[in-house]
A and B are shown apart, each in its own frame.
Chain A
């Protein structure tokens, strides 16, 4: 069975309902939905939206958590001719209203029990469950491959929202690039707790299996422990899972090594810098061999750009950077500095050309203009290099480089040292410039669990010692903070800008996040 002939995601779902209707599309916490059930619910909701007078190309905000309701909402909007705008379900009313205003949305899809949350808002709240009552015979607009399927709002400042426009053609292109590049087949079994309202969880972990009619088991994102995730892999004999490095580090620390993960073919490590230590320790702990792959991607290129080959094992360079593999088919990656393309081995900004490249940010021509280099290449904002064989290595974010006494330090390098420390749960390093002579200094924020004043004092001394021993510099300040004190995106990426803002504005202290020191 091939889905290669479909041109839109709506055609894909219609084809799946027609040809594999009785097959399970996905399970959520063991509750199964078939492709024909899914298609029926999509149609119900699309009809309901037409009755709400949805216009062609009208963005509709979706604030639904992982669960069976998300998909009828997400595809129902598109089937009715609108643009889906999935947002973090816990978003504040202000953020949601800001995005609604930015993209001109008037409709908002909410879980039934949360309809009251936006009672004061001018937005019209609707629920997927309301759709059943609508009996309008469906006559849906024809969806074209270049129509925008959904907007992926990237983390960033609330004042300047950036909604990446992804067309059906972008998505179907990247889905097939992922399938070929990751050697995915319809026999793969997916387990995922990643948010379905965000790119990796949505595209890799649901669109790809829908495309192939492969088995996918979804979990809530609010995993109370990594155990839930790993136990699901064991129970389902899953072959494919994906998570940021952070989640695998949690698994190394807190999960029981007796959990059987031997069914895994690929445990993709992406969305965050990949650490060599995470790969080796995870595989050692669960007795796996060359299962963890390192990947790279970004919303502006739909989601996936490259991954190491399954079964090949990690490829680490002399600096300790883990390769994220070669680009997927029909994706060109180059490294530039300013106007010129750099030769292999030299670090510069990563640029990408692919049919999966977004057209830009919705209603934001200024940021869209900044996104592109020339000849159809987009600027990733990430730093890296290509080796002679074409393997890509990520050296950090263009914007998260700390300049310490004229030397460039990647935050990632410091975080790896800090995370290895006793009692440290996770850490983030940012450059803080107090406006004095010595310039930008490394500030370390380390999340710790429990402990007392004496233990914290020892932890800080150890952190400073370790950084000094490895990098020959000492941080300007080390703060020990509460677990989850480091702000992250839904996919687990550290939000450095926000962390810095919270610290500099004094909010981090005022909100009681800083445990040590008390000045």
Chain B
């Protein structure tokens, strides 16, 4: 019986990891909180549209790292132009 529960729990965990999806709404929320912005969409450009400075983008990356327990390299950070880019990066890292 105990063994059965353990196997079931293990299977469940595998499924949970496999389906771990980063919802865009969550990234959107992080961006709003970090930048004090209200209108944030997938195509919003961090610098041009949301008036983020480089230091704000670094702080945003730190928040993302703390939230998802990932590490974002500076080279990766430099390629992020839109909120959608950030979402895609985080999604690729947690998978």
Contacts and interface: CB of A to CB of B under 8 A. Distances in A.
Contacts of B20: none
B40 to A, nearest CB: 10
A375 interface: no
B10 interface: no
Contacts of B35: 464, 474
Interface string B48-91: 00000111101100110011000000100000000000000000
A278 B62 CA distance: 36
A405 B55 contact: yes
Interface string A327-343: 00000000000000000
A298 B89 CA distance: 52
A438 B56 CA distance: 9
B38 interface: yes
Interface in A290-312: none
B14 interface: no
Contacts of B66: 519
B56 A478 contact: no
A460 B58 contact: no
B25 to A, nearest CB: 12
Contact of A438 (B29, B32, B36, B55): B55
Interface in A440-495: 441, 457, 460-468, 473-474, 476-478
B3 to A, nearest CB: 35
A464 B58 contact: no
B56 A517 contact: no
A158 B64 CA distance: 36
Interface residues of B, dominant DSSP:
helix
B33 A460 contact: yes
Given A457-B29, A477-B63, A437 B36 contact: no
Contacts of B59: 438, 441, 474, 476-477
B33 A465 contact: no
Contacts of B44: none
A462 B54 CA distance: 21
Nearest to B55: A438
Contacts of A464: 33-36
Contacts of B38: 461
A434 B33 contact: no
A437 B74 CA distance: 10
A457 B33 contact: yes
A474 B34 contact: yes
Contacts of B58: 436-438
A463 B62 contact: no
Contacts of A460: 33, 36
A84 B34 CA distance: 50
B37 to A, nearest CB: 8
A466 B35 CA distance: 11
Nearest to B69: A519
Contacts of B34: 464, 474
Interface string B13-38: 00000000000000001001111111
A437 B58 CA distance: 9
A476 B53 CA distance: 12
Contacts of B53: 474
A474 B33 contact: no
Contacts of A461: 32-33, 36-38
A463 B32 CA distance: 12
Contact of A474 (B32, B36, B67, B74): B36
Contacts of B36: 460-468, 474
24 contacts: A405-B55, A436-B62, A437-B58, A438-B54, A438-B58, A438-B59, A441-B55, A457-B33, A460-B33, A461-B33, A461-B36, A461-B37, A464-B35, A464-B36, A465-B36, A473-B55, A474-B53, A474-B59, A476-B59, A478-B33, A517-B67, A519-B63, A519-B66, A519-B67
Closest 9 CB pairs of A and B: A464-B36, A465-B36, A519-B67, A438-B58, A476-B59, A438-B55, A519-B66, A460-B33, A474-B56
